[in-house]
Amino acid sequence: MLVVHAAPPHPTRVVGATTPGAAVWFDLLDPTPQEIAHVEAETGLDLPSREDMQEIEVSSRLAQQGDALLMTATVMSKADSDTPEASAITFLVAPAALVTLRYSDPKPFATFRQRLQRNPALAANSDLVFVALMETIVDRIADVLESISTEIDALARDVFDRSDEAAGSEALEEALQRIGRAGTMLSTLSESIVGLGRAVAFFGSAAAPWLHKETKHHLKPIGRDLKSLNDQVGFLSHKTNFLLDATLGLISIEQNRIIKIFTIAAVTFMPPTLIASIYGMNFAAMPELQWVMGYPMAVALMVLAAALPLVWFRRQGWL
């Protein structure tokens, strides 16, 4: 359980039952029942259970507990790894303290702790800490979106650059996996942006007289940034869907090319097989069996029967 103090604002891990009264931020990461009970006693707030945090109803995610404001939003973690995760994080903003309850460790929280160390004035009050934390989360979302945008541009070059023989089935299958990962991250970011946008709007419109005016003033840029990021997610999602359709189309073309080769091979060897079958019947009344030129003629017919379809395929532009 991390506690940030008003002065000095350095994070401290608390395991026991004593918490300094100057704390303005209680950050509970995978807390024990004892820690939850301790923070509830210190702040007078009712913290939601992990099951309650998973509720998707707006009324469950945005609510008011007396003077405190409860907001739950989905935030992505491990965005730089191959297995990004998304989990619900609850923000409880009370006049005296901010409580964050989470069961994952998104990067913005560590970044925000460093930011507090550089700028202690951010810990002046609970609502200012909440707004500054939201700014850090939004900045992280923007960084992840920039990374995804770069990845999608690289994917587009790899998918449509057909000059290299490596751009075959294996390369296209790898591109499909990369597109799937980008699509999953965009979907998670979209859910996070929508949830954070609702939380910011709810916080800004809350009828709480203890909220500072400068806090609401800082909320407006966050709302605009979230709207802009949501538009960017929509654009990248359309681009990802286009790349998905293009990649599937190229895979289909690659498969059709392989099937065409087998079809041509089958048609090519069908006439020679027919001729060989006829001359392999060995009837006594077949005059060619006693003909000296019978075997050369059969071989010539097989070569001609194989060459004629190939010439025709080439003239049709199939080869």
What's the confidence (pLDDT) of residue 16? 34
Q: Are residues 264 and 167 in the same domain?
A: no
Average pLDDT, the chain: 81
**Per-residue pLDDT for 66 more than 80?**
yes
Q: Does residue 249 surpass a pLDDT of 80?
A: yes
Whether residues 93 and 167 share a domain: the answer is yes
Inter-axis angle of helices 126-160 and 213-279, nearest 10? 20
Task: Provide the domain limits for residue 241.
Answer: 2-254
| Domain end residue (candidates: 210, 226, 254) | 254
pTM of structure: 0.75
Q: What is the pLDDT of residue 45?
A: 87
For residues 26 and 63, membership in a common domain is answered with yes
Q: How many domains does the chain have?
A: 2
Range in 107-116, 195-204, 307-316 with the lowest mean pLDDT: 307-316
CATH number of 144's domain: 3.30.460.20
Same domain, 216 and 310: no
Among 207, 222, 254, give the residue marking a domain's end: 254
Residues 207, 298, single domain; the answer is no
Tell me, yes or no, whether 39 and 112 share the same domain. yes
- Residue 201 and residue 303 share a domain: no
State which of 239, 254, 269 marks the end of a domain: 254
Whether residue 69 is found in the same domain as residue 191: yes
Per the listing, tokens 């009712």 go with 46
